[in-house]
Structure 1
């Protein structure tokens, strides 16, 4: 083998070693397990399906995008919290001084514990919204679409803050 090839091989090996425990999903943890508790709905206005949907979607996201095993207790990583807000507010007006759009906002308080690295622990509030026509009822497909958008964004933000470190 030539000197150039040996040098290139050494640089390649050192680069790979320097990457540590990084994975292609964007996580950089050596933990193997995660516990994600049920997120109760403590908001003043309660949407019955929100709690189960939010918890399931959060668990699914971590299982799909990491190699972590979901466990019912004693996870190396631990997420808990509660839904603290579910609010509908009028957004933009019309010339008749009525709302043209309404906004559904969901807020979730999250606690994250990393038993491997306590400096990663946090308690944060995550919130997102979806706008819908003021003449639409927030039921059926309108509600489903709004919750899909909101839950997808909040769960991804929680993922990014906890294991992706974004």
Structure 2
């Protein structure tokens, strides 16, 4: 009798799976990485971001661009090419600021309790297959550091900059290919 109950539910289970797959397959492609990329989009090109920030370190643009490329390579199946991709990114780092964020009284003097790193990146996104998705927008991320850390120690700490980069890149990713 147990066998009959299981076999009677099998067609319902198969039908449910089929309907779920049908619902997921619309005009756009869904992936478990959260992307929403049209099936005809196959390539991506990411130009080197320019460093237009007045006080950013010299390696800033190269490191940001490489992290940007790595993120898209890990999270999509798009083939990267130097130019004329179906999806195209370019832009510039427009701000790199390291300033006191919390002032405290110490020995009757105002001193920084926390220093804040702020990075802003202007991104231009072109979708050659769906121009309605194009945008140009500024993305920003910040990270606080103890006042004992100065800017040179931050610049020599790849993990510190990468955290700020990752926040910006994730926001760009979500706006462009995840359509959030």
- Normalising by structure 1, report the TM-score: 0.90
- Contact 1:131 1:146 (C-alpha < 8 Å) held by counterparts: no
- Contact 1:58 1:155 (C-alpha < 8 Å) held by counterparts: yes
Structure 2 equivalent of residue 25 of structure 1: 33
- Contact 1:104 1:146 (C-alpha < 8 Å) held by counterparts: no
Residue of structure 2 aligned with 1:55, choices 49, 54, 65: 65
Task: Report the 3-state secondary structure (helix = DSSP H, G, I; strand = E; otherwise coil) of the residue aligned with 1:157.
Answer: helix
Structure 2 equivalent of residue 108 of structure 1: 121
Q: CA deviation at 1:102?
A: 1.1
Q: CA deviation at 1:44?
A: 2.0
Residue 158 of structure 2 is aligned to residue 150 of structure 1: no
Q: Which runs of 5+ in 1 are unaligned?
A: none
Please identify, of 7-16 and 85-94, the stretch whose mean Cα deviation from structure 2 is larger.
7-16
- Normalising by structure 2, report the TM-score: 0.84
RMSD of the alignment, in Å? 1.7
- Contact 2:103 2:111 (C-alpha < 8 Å) held by counterparts: yes
Which structure: larger Rg? Answer: 2
Aligned residue pairs total 164
Residue 103 of structure 2 is aligned to residue 98 of structure 1: no
Structure 1 equivalent of residue 14 of structure 2: 9
Residue of structure 2 aligned with 1:138, choices 141, 145, 151: 151
Residue 174 of structure 2 is aligned to residue 160 of structure 1: yes
Distance in 2 of aligned mates of 1:63 and 1:112: 16
